[in-house]
Amino acid sequence: MAAEVLARGGAAVTVYDRMPSAGRKFLMAGRGGLNLTHSEDIDAFLTRYGEAAPALRAAIETLPPDAVRAWAQALGQETFVGSSGRVFPRAMKASPLLRAWLRRLDGAGVRFVFRHRWTGWDGERLTFEAPDGAVAVDADATMLALGGASWPRLGSDGAWVEPLTQAGVTVAPLKPANCGFAAGWSGHFARFAGQPLKRLALSFGDQVVRGEALITEAGLEGGGIYALSGPLRDVIAASGEATLTIALRPDMTPEELERRLSAPRGKQSLATFLRKALKLAPAEIGLLHEVSFAQPLAKLDPAALARLINAVPVRLTATAPIARAISTAGGVTFGELDTHFMLRQRPGVFVAGEMLDWEAPTGGYLLQACFATGAAAGQGALAWLSRSA
Ligand SMILES: Cc1cc2nc3c(=O)[nH]c(=O)nc-3n(C[C@H](O)[C@H](O)[C@H](O)COP(=O)(O)OP(=O)(O)OC[C@H]3O[C@@H](n4cnc5c(N)ncnc54)[C@H](O)[C@@H]3O)c2cc1C
């Protein structure tokens, strides 16, 4: 996005990427439908960035969700608003959008140089590790948009932290965001790995979200978990564990649950009874067993069982590795930047995208902030170039 703004403004742009092709994480985001942005009103939208909202506001107001939709449309990708308010291209994938975008950038004169890893500076020159050895490059302005540290095999591995820190730039530690957690399952329950838990209400602290979770060998991941991952991560970091509460049948009142659980069980096994009375899946019943080791499930009376079903306590002890997270929290702190996303300490060097110190839930907020900061930093770089011309 920064390259596009710069090229349109008349700059000669070269994009260096350490990977053999462009936009690999963007393509991966397309595997889940490519949630480009969200349709909610701008004030609600901005609250999703928490403490970083003030630093992102101007950029997002300049390139708001409607502008992202118009941008996609101009690239031949009509968008639609899904039932949750999320915005997707009709194609539900990234490849046609990326192809059209790269063609347009090529037409605007943007040059791509692949397999070049930025390693820092040698004086004023940018240094790269390239297939034939080290390369040094002069540039009138530099845009760093090197991503976070999740899914490193797609390109962004967070190795940029070192050269930036060495240059005296403050970088908040990179942490997993929209990530899964370890729950220390017993071997018995770990056999449900890969199975989803659907239509849940998940709560932590004063936050309650509706969504799904996926059982993993180590613990839990998935949309509902990601939505609470920021506070869960921070509490685990501070105190070593956090207890997530899961309601398996959030639309049933305690009375309704208890009434159904009070029906005569006859000769049915507990599992059969729960499956018939509440349509609980084997993984859900497994989870109830998993958390009720202190008192076996079969010993609980209907009222206690009803309470447990809608308040399953799951003790989480660690975040899943950052390499598996959807996004990255932490990054170059906003205090290091002027209002045009230029590093105060290195005039002419701009920073955009996920490598900045913000985080947001899934829902299109991630790409939206990357697009918006890319465009804003691009404008900043144009202004800088014209000032120094
Ligand atoms: C599985 C998955 C699904 C996702 N789905 C969505 C979604 O639906 N909606 C949404 O909003 N967000 C989604 N995201 C998040 C979104 O893809 C990212 O937030 C976004 O791509 C970040 O953009 P960026 O340009 O800042 O960084 P990136 O897209 O990571 O791009 C950074 C680029 O810099 C290159 N690079 C890194 N280090 C160097 C270096 N030292 N030298 C040279 N090049 C380097 C990398 O190769 C890469 O091409 C998803 C993420 C994942 C992992």
pLDDT (0 to 100) of residue 388: 57
The pLDDT tens digits for 77-98 are: 999 999 999 999 999 999 999 9
Average pLDDT over residues 210-217: 97
Residue 191 pLDDT greater than 90, yes or no: yes
Average pLDDT over residues 33-61: 97
Of 56, 60, 55, 54, the C-alpha closest to 42 is 60
* Atom 2 of ligand 1: nearest residue by CA position: 29
pLDDT (0 to 100) of residue 25: 97
pLDDT grade for 368, boundaries at 50, 70 and 90:
very high
CA distance 230 to 132: 42
Average pLDDT over residues 252-257: 96
Q: Best substitution site from 21, 326, 355, 371 to test ligand 1's pocket, by max atoms within 8 Å of Cβ?
A: 326
Q: What are 122's strand-pairing partners? A: 125
* Atom 28 of ligand 1: nearest residue by CA position: 147
More confident site: 132 or 389: 132
Give the pocket of ligand 1 (CB within 6 Å).
16-19, 24-26, 28-29, 32, 34-35, 117-118, 145-147, 150-151, 155-156, 159-160, 326-327, 353-354, 364, 366-367, 370
Average pLDDT over residues 204-227: 97
Residue 74 pLDDT greater than 70, yes or no: yes
Residue 389 pLDDT greater than 80, yes or no: no
Mean pLDDT of all residues belonging to the chain: 97
CA-to-CA dists, residue 343 to 21, 280, 384, angstroms: 27, 54, 12
pLDDT grade for 276, boundaries at 50, 70 and 90:
very high
In the chain, what percentage of residues exceed pLDDT 90?
Answer: 97
The pLDDT tens digits for 141-173 are: 999 999 999 999 999 999 999 999 999 999 999
- For residue 22, the ligand 1 atom closest to its alpha carbon is 49
For residue 270, report the phi and psi dihedrals to the nearest 5 degrees.
-60, -40
For residue 268, report the phi and psi dihedrals to the nearest 5 degrees.
-70, 150
Average pLDDT over residues 260-281: 95
Q: Separation of 140 CA from ligand 1 center, angstroms?
A: 25
pLDDT (0 to 100) of residue 293: 78
Residue with tokens 């060097």: 349
pLDDT grade for 36, boundaries at 50, 70 and 90:
very high
Residue 380 pLDDT greater than 90, yes or no: yes
The pLDDT tens digits for 309-351 are: 999 999 999 999 999 999 999 999 999 999 999 999 999 999 9
Q: Separation of 156 CA from ligand 1 center, angstroms?
A: 6
In the chain, what percentage of residues exceed pLDDT 70?
Answer: 99
Neighbour-count burial for 285-299, b at 16+ CB within 10 Å, e otherwise: bbbbbbbbeeeebee
